[in-house]
């Protein structure tokens, strides 16, 4: 049944022994994932978001990673869906939110205006569905001393569409002062009306349009036209997945201000990210 659902639903799938073994493997990994947080196997990495013209670091996205004691580093493409299905994504989400707020507050105290202006954290559909999510987030903000104006919560269009309460929750978050980013835009059920119906401050253009196989065809048209829409509606646009100088130059010519991708840096530990943004600030002062 789950194999048929994974293939898109509304279809059937013959049973075979491989499916049974895959299900057992998934069950074992899910059980391990529940112990990952208390056993301190989960850690955070930071990927810079840069200003395209100057290359200065203006923010960063926090990404969770899982170092399994026997299996080694497990891809988020594997463990995040597991966490979503099992429900432990909520616990993981609160952990990464508190970790991020505590680290960002420390950087603000240490570097003042030279600290990253915005730090982004991903929020899952299950978190948004929780009636006490906003209250819990405010508790974390108070406990860590995080300046709410520096926090960006990233949600996917799938998360917004998956629950009728999601849009209301985003409105509540906006009243608290949090900025909202719509992540992976264009990969799901998105329409431009979603940007009007939801309180979106930042649009993150999916990497498939920037550096994927369609980047030089339909993706290029989407990237070109989206920037005009976001500019007219005062929404910041961040191009994800920038891998080459040519891609960065094209985005700059189209009017994009911000970018993220391997051209600038891969996700890195907090200490390395700190070195990056302090070096970026010094370079900007000497120009």
Per-residue pLDDT of 116-141, as tens digits, reads 999 999 999 899 989 999 999 999 99
Considering only 55-69, 91-105, 203-217, 235-249, which range has the smallest mean pLDDT? 203-217
In terms of pLDDT, which residue wins out, 229 or 163?
Answer: 229
| Residue from 207, 193, 201 nearest 263 by CA | 207
CATH of 42-285, one of 3.30.300.30, 3.20.20.450, 3.40.470.10, 3.20.20.70: 3.20.20.450
User: For residue 114, what is the DSSP state?
Assistant: G
Per-residue pLDDT band at 286 (split at 50, 70, 90)? very low
Specify the pLDDT at position 207.
85
Specify the pLDDT at position 19.
60
Per-residue pLDDT for 157 more than 60? yes
Sort 268 into a burial class: Cβ within 10 Å, 0-12 / 13-18 / 19+: middle
Entry pTM: 0.86
Q: Which helix (H) or strand (E) holds 64?
A: strand 57-68
What is the pairing mode between strands 179-185 and 202-205?
Answer: parallel
| Residue from 202, 188, 112, 196 nearest 156 by CA | 188
Per-residue pLDDT for 285 more than 50? no
Count of Cβ atoms closer than 10 Å to residue 102 Cβ:
14
Per-residue pLDDT band at 17 (split at 50, 70, 90)? low
Domain ranges for the chain: 1-36, 42-285
Per-residue pLDDT band at 225 (split at 50, 70, 90)? confident
Q: Which helix (H) or strand (E) holds 194?
A: helix 192-197
Considering only 77-86, 165-174, 194-203, which range has the smallest mean pLDDT? 194-203
Where would I find the beta strands (DSSP E) of 79-230? 118-122, 151-156, 179-185, 202-205
Joined together, the tokens standing for residue 284 give: 């900007």
| Residue from 108, 31, 103 nearest 71 by CA | 31
Specify the pLDDT at position 283.
55
| Residue from 238, 252, 146, 255 nearest 200 by CA | 238
């Amino acid at each position: 049944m789950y194999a048929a659902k994974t293939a898109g639903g509304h279809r059937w799938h013959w049973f075979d022994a491989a499916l049974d073994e895959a299900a057992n493997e998934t069950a074992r990994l899910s059980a391990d994932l529940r112990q990952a947080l208390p056993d301190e196997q989960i850690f955070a990495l930071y990927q810079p978001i840069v200003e395209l013209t100057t290359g200065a670091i203006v923010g960063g996205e926090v990404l969770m990673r899982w170092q399994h004691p026997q299996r080694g580093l497990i891809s988020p493409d594997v463990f995040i869906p597991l966490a979503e299905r099992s429900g432990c994504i909520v616990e993981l989400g609160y952990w990464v939110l508190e970790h991020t707020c505590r680290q960002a507050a420390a950087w603000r105290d240490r570097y003042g205006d030279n600290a990253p202006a915005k730090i982004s954290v991903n929020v899952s559909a299950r978190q948004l569905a929780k009636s006490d999510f906003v209250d819990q987030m405010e508790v974390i903000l108070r406990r860590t001393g995080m300046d709410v104006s520096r926090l960006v919560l990233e949600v996917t269009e799938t998360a917004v569409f998956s629950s009728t309460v999601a849009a209301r929750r985003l409105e509540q978050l906006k009243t608290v002062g949090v900025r909202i980013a719509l992540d992976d835009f264009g990969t799901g059920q998105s329409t431009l009306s979603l940007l009007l119906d939801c309180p979106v401050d930042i649009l993150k253009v999916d990497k498939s349009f920037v550096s994927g196989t369609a980047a030089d065809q339909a993706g290029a048209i989407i990237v070109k036209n989206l920037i005009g829409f976001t500019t007219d509606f005062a929404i910041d646009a961040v191009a994800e997945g920038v891998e080459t100088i040519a891609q960065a130059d094209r985005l700059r010519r189209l009017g994009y201000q911000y970018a993220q991708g391997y051209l600038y840096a891969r996700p890195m530990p907090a200490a390395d990210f700190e070195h990056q943004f302090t070096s970026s600030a010094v370079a900007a002062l000497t120009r």
